[in-house]
Amino acid sequence: MSADVIDGVAVARQILADTAVRAKRFVDAVGRRPCLATVLVGDDPASHTYVRMKANRCRSTGLASRHHHLPGSAITAEVIALVEALSADDTVDGILVQHPMPPQIEERRVFEAIIPAKDVDGVTAASFAAMALSSSGFQSCTPAGILRLLDAYDVELAGKRAVVIGRSPILGKPVGMLLLARDATVTYCHSKTVDLPSVVGEADVVIAAVGRPELVKGHWIKFGAAVIDAGYNPGNVGDVEYGAAALRAGLITPVPGGVGPTTIAVLLAQTVNAAEAGRADIGS
């Protein structure tokens, strides 16, 4: 048996095609493009690459992007002041604060400076509450992208056992909430979990989101399980031992080309959602 490979690029392409149509409709009605503002603190090369990719994707999808770069010496108050200014700017529809930020920055305080109506990356407490309570709001982009992948490949979630490895506030925790809302039975695993291999071995759906290369061994995977690898480590290595896992799983995401493309696609889709929300005359 060999797993079917989930094509995140193809799923993202479809999301972006729909987003481009809606962005064009917004331009025709309002006279400006939906705008995503990005905030980057410091000079982390990977973060610069991610921001550049998002700007390029905005351009190709018909969105405007506005980039703000603060030096690595910036303090929390300076970043918050910028985020608050963007929150008050009527020409900005969505705000993305690139993370991780330098160690002197209090990330949570910066995130909470984003008004919920522009939190298109789904990082505020208000957005997490919306995910947990299944109410209206923006979803964390990587978790939302993971659900899009599972839906694209007709993975039934109701009644299934889902194991989430990792409990970060913008990936592990929210993806568990989204799975729970779809009637999956969800188990969170973390550094204190006892006998991780046995827990993973019972899962119909495995979400690896811990940031440790090949932590999840292939022989742990239940035959036929759907494996979503949300990790990205140096050398294009995910959190799952891909080759061995693919021999047992029914579906598996590659790294790269799996979760990453849908994360950016959801970010842009939610930016257009935010733009449309301010215009009741524009259908979604």
Residues 6+ apart with CB under 8 A from 65: 35, 36, 37, 38, 54, 55, 58, 59
- Of the candidates 93, 98, 204, 270, the residue annotated as catalytic is 98
173 as an active site residue: the answer is no
Catalytic residue among 93, 119, 121, 204: 121
Q: CB of 122 within 8 A of CB of 131? A: yes
Concerning whether 139 is annotated as a catalytic residue, the answer is: no
Chain center to CA of 38? 15
The two tokens of residue 6 are: 């989930």
Q: What is the DSSP string of 68-107?
A: EEE-TT--HHHHHHHHHHHHT-TT--EEEE-SSPPTTS-H
Please, which residues bridge with residue 37 across strands? 66, 95
Does residue 39 contact residue 86 with C-beta atoms inside 8 Å? Answer: yes
Is residue 192 annotated as part of the catalytic site, yes or no? Answer: no
> Which residues are catalytically annotated?
54, 98, 121
